[in-house]
Structure 1
Amino acid sequence: MLKLKYILLPFFWLAIIALSVYFFVTNVGIYFTGFRSRIFGTSIFNNQLWVILHLIGGSFALLLGPTQFWPALRNKYLKFHRLAGKLYMLGILLIGISAARLSLISTCVPCRISLFLLALFAVLSTWFAWKAIKARNIKVHRQMIVRSYVCVLAFIAVRIDDIMPLDFLFGAVKDGLLRRVMNEYFFSFVPLIIAEICMVWIPAVYHKK
Structure 2
Amino acid sequence: MKTSWGYTAWLAVSGFACVAITIFAASAYVTLDMSQSRPPLHGAVHYGLLVAHIFTGTVAVLAGVSQFWPGLRARHPRVHRVTGRVYFAAVLPSSVLGVVCAQLSLAGLASSAPLTVLSVLWFVSAVYGLKTARRRQFGEHRIWMIRGFALTGAAITGRLWGLALGAVMPDGDGLLIFATANWLSLVVNLLVAEWWIQSRGYTRTLPSVALRPSISSKSAQSSASVA
Alignment correspondent of 1:142: 142
Letter in 1 for 2:80: H
Check 1:204–1:66 CA distance in 2 against 1; reply closer, same or farther (3 A cut). closer
TM norm structure 2? 0.76
Check 1:176–1:31 CA distance in 2 against 1; reply closer, same or farther (3 A cut). closer
TM norm structure 1? 0.82
What is the alpha-carbon distance in structure 2 between the residues aligned to residue 93 and residue 191 of structure 1? Answer: 19
After superposition, give the CA deviation of every residue in 1:179-207 in whole Å (9 maximum; x if it has no partner). 22221111111210221133148849999
| Alpha-carbon distance, 1:171 to partner | 5.0
| Alpha-carbon distance, 1:155 to partner | 0.9
Residue of structure 2 aligned with 1:185, choices 172, 183, 186 = 183
Alignment correspondent of 1:84: 83
1:58 aligns with 2:52: no
* Percent identity (aligned): 21
Does the CA contact (< 8 Å) of 2:105 and 2:112 recur in 1?
yes
Alignment correspondent of 1:120: 120
Does the CA contact (< 8 Å) of 1:143 and 1:199 recur in 2?
yes
Letter in 1 for 2:67: Q
Does the CA contact (< 8 Å) of 1:125 and 1:148 recur in 2?
yes
Alignment correspondent of 1:157: 157
| Alpha-carbon distance, 1:82 to partner | 0.9
What is the alpha-carbon distance in structure 2 between the residues aligned to residue 201 and residue 176 of structure 1? Answer: 36
Check 1:119–1:77 CA distance in 2 against 1; reply closer, same or farther (3 A cut). same
What is the alpha-carbon distance in structure 2 between the residues aligned to residue 107 and residue 187 of structure 1? Answer: 21
5 Å-filtered alignment, 1:169-180, equals 174-180=172-178
What is the alpha-carbon distance in structure 2 between the residues aligned to residue 205 and residue 117 of structure 1? Answer: 25
What is the alpha-carbon distance in structure 1 between the residues aligned to residue 135 and residue 160 of structure 2? Answer: 38
Letter in 2 for 1:191: N
Structure number with larger C-alpha Rg:
2
5 Å-filtered alignment, 1:4-83, equals 6-33=4-31, 35-36=33-34, 37=37, 39=40, 42-43=43-44, 46-83=45-82
Number of residue pairs aligned between Structure 1 and Structure 2:
201
Letter in 2 for 1:197: W
Alignment correspondent of 1:195: 193
Check 1:67–1:100 CA distance in 2 against 1; reply closer, same or farther (3 A cut). same
RMSD value, Cα? 3.0
Letter in 2 for 1:27: A
Structure 1's unaligned 5+ residue stretches are none
**In structure 2, the residue corresponding to 1:71 is in which secondary structure?**
coil
| Alpha-carbon distance, 1:114 to partner | 1.0
